[in-house]
Amino acid sequence: MVRLGLKRGSVALLSHQEEWDKNAENVILELKQLFGNAAVDIQHVGSTAVHSIYAKPIIDIVIGLHDLNDISPYMQLLEEHGFIFRGEDVAGQMLFVMGDFEKDTRTHHIHAVKWDGTEWKNYINFRDYLNCHPDKAMIYDACKKKLALQFPDDRKSYTEGKQECIECLLEEAYVWRQLQDT
């Protein structure tokens, strides 16, 4: 049995599970059916999409839209299908969550962003760079494991603690992507 979901605010890391990819594919398919052509692209991102590292058992999915306002007509439909709107968690992106809300557990974070904008590129470049560079993925993995031990019940501090490592790897990922695209 694959463990999916984590109590809100807590931190626990698991080794990569193939079922995470299958689960993400199913949710992406559902989102594509709900959005039709309104979504330019929908992809599995975050640590559960990097096969060589440990991750919180919460699936991250990013929805790329031409304009963030394109999501407005779908808000009610998303909620009816279990995608609960949590606001603009970071400037330029809207967060939806799935999970067992009675147990205060989250299984999925769905990020709606402008397709090909900074947030979109950050998600895609980071995932692709870590999957193509296992040595860099291990740097991120070590950072996450250290912080998870330090902050098992404080996800905010865990997340803030990763920022410097993420920013450094993102800079490398942008250079790598530019070389790939030339």
pLDDT score recorded for residue 88:
87
- Give the count of beta carbons closer than 10 Å to the beta carbon of residue 159: 13
**Which CATH number fits the domain that encloses residue 100?**
3.30.460.10
How are beta strands 84-90 and 93-100 bridged, if at all? Answer: antiparallel
For the chain, the domain total comes to 1
DSSP state letter for 41:
E
In whole angstroms, give the CA distance from residue 126 to residue 134. Answer: 12
pTM: 0.94
Assigned domain for 140 exists: yes
Assigned domain for 170 exists: yes
50-61 pLDDT, tens digit each? 999 999 999 999
For residue 150, the enclosing domain spans 6-181
pLDDT score recorded for residue 91:
81
Helices (H), ranges, the chain = 18-35, 75-80, 118-132, 134-150, 155-181
Residue type, 89: D
Between CA 146 and CA 153, with CA 150 as vertex, the angle to 5 degrees is 125
Assigned domain for 1 exists: no
pLDDT score recorded for residue 2:
56
Assigned domain for 13 exists: yes
Is the model's pLDDT at 141 over the cut of 80?
Answer: yes
